[in-house]
């Protein structure tokens, strides 16, 4: 494996990081299974002179570099896991793992932070502690990697005055830095609702208690929460992702099951919506003589960037890349991110970098599939250098010698 040095006279070899990113892409690993990726990361950090602590939340690790006597510190996070999607890009570096691919760019995020690790180690223009956090299982919901790392004592073991993370954003110009103060990404909850009735022959419905009717009525009633119970200026999404009942056409089943996705930008609204979902489903079921059991599963919390850290992060981007490569106050996103758990513990900022329109093109439709979580998606390697340089500049700013 190529050994990196701290020689500040030799230009950084960006092609090596492109090759590294594509190697990770070729060998994707799902959440808490990132053994090969974590091993590769650990070896690179060791070569660069970082103190490496492995086995945090299973496959997570932290690389620490300390200079000077300051007690100030910063944490930079990259996620490492892939998704259970069959890749359809046809690229030379396409996934070799059936049914698994880096469809969200975590291969790129990992390579970016490793490139930043080299820049930070070369430049050595800070006073304090830099903690590079390589996180597993971002895609796994509320029980994923960020929460597990926090529960494993991440910030007690590696104190951070502030934490930062970056995600690629398809559809925005390549290399443009995107920021938002305050609530930036929504909470994400899963709700499983089981309607229980009394099954029987489809020809004699009056002798049954049909749970499918209760479920159908509840589906319609649930849509009134956003339209009639919540301030129209608030952003709320309640989507029915699954409706499951019965096994054949001429039997009324005993049970019907719904699964919902619920998203909002307010912790207060989150609790209010939970209460309304419980009441609507319970009372709708009772009105048909059925019973409803609601399993409300809290997932990612709202991701909230803190004001001072966002201003700092924005100022660094403007200073080093120019106003035309920076977009402040972007609209909030209904997607979710488990970096929100880190931001519940420490101040910080989650930012985006434009990934352009890169992706595979469907020959039948002519459409380019550049969105994340899509079989045709690929990370744009042109983002590696600006993103890594940004992290190094942020460290130099936050931990500037005093």
> What Å distances lie between residue 176 and 171, 276, 318, CA to CA?
11, 41, 10
Q: Does 138 qualify as catalytic in the annotation?
A: yes
Tokens standing for 29? 């690993």
Dist CA 213 CA 351 (whole Å): 45
Tokens standing for 302? 């709202």
Dist CA 169 CA 180 (whole Å): 14
| Residues ≥6 apart with Cβ < 8 Å to 219 | 240, 243, 258
Could you give the count of Cα atoms lying within 13 Å of 258 in the half-sphere of its Cβ?
Answer: 29
* Active-site residue (options: 138, 181, 312, 338): 138
CB crowding 130-151: b at 16 or more within 10 Å, else e? bbbbbbbbbbbbbebbbbbbbe
Tokens standing for 323? 């106003």
Burial class (CB in 10 A: 0-12, 13-18, 19+), 239: exposed
| Residues ≥6 apart with Cβ < 8 Å to 309 | 162, 164, 347, 348, 349
* Signed CA dihedral, 7, 10, 16, 20: sign only: positive
Question: What is the three-class DSSP state of 292?
Answer: strand
Dist CA 115 CA 4 (whole Å): 10
Burial class (CB in 10 A: 0-12, 13-18, 19+), 363: exposed
* Active-site residue (options: 29, 34, 79, 81): 81
- Just list the catalytic residues: 81, 138
């Amino acid at each position: 494996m190529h050994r990196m040095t701290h020689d500040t006279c030799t230009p950084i070899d960006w092609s090596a990081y492109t090759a590294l990113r594509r190697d990770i892409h070729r060998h994707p690993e799902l959440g808490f299974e990132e053994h090969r990726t974590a091993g590769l990361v650990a070896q690179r950090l060791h070569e660069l002179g970082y103190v490496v602590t492995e086995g945090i939340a299973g496959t997570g690790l932290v690389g620490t570099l300390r200079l000077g006597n300051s007690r100030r510190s910063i944490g930079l996070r990259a996620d490492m896991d892939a998704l259970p999607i069959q890749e359809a890009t046809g690229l030379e570096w396409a996934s070799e793992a059936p049914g698994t691919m880096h469809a969200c760019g975590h291969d790129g995020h990992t390579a970016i932070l490793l490139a930043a690790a080299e820049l930070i180690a070369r430049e050595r223009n800070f006073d304090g502690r830099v903690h590079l956090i390589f996180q597993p299982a971002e895609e796994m919901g509320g029980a994923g990697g960020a929460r597990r790392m926090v529960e494993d004592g991440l910030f007690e073991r590696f104190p951070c005055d502030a934490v930062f993370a970056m995600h690629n954003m398809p559809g925005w110009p390549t290399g443009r830095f995107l920021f938002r103060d305050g609530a930036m990404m929504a909470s994400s909850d899963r709700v499983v609702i089981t309607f229980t009735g009394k099954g029987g022959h489809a020809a004699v419905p009056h002798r049954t208690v049909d749970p499918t009717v209760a479920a159908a009525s509840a589906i319609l009633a649930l849509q009134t929460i956003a339209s009639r119970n919540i301030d129209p200026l608030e952003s709320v999404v309640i989507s029915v992702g699954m409706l499951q009942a019965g096994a054949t056409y001429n039997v009324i089943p005993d049970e019907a099951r719904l699964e919902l996705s619920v998203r909002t930008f307010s912790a207060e609204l989150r609790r209010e919506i939970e209460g309304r979902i419980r009441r609507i489903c319970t009372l709708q079921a009772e009105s048909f003589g059925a019973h409803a059991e609601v399993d409300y599963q809290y997932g990612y919390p709202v991701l909230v960037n803190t004001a001072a850290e966002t201003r700092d992060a924005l100022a660094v981007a403007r200073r080093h890349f120019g106003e035309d490569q920076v977009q402040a106050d972007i609209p909030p996103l209904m997607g979710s991110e488990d970096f929100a758990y880190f931001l519940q513990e420490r101040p910080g900022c989650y930012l985006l970098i434009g990934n352009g329109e890169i992706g595979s093109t469907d020959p039948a439709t002519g459409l380019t599939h550049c969105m994340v979580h899509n079989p045709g998606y690929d990370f744009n390697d042109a983002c590696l250098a600006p993103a890594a340089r940004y992290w190094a500049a942020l460290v130099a700013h936050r931990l500037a010698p005093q």
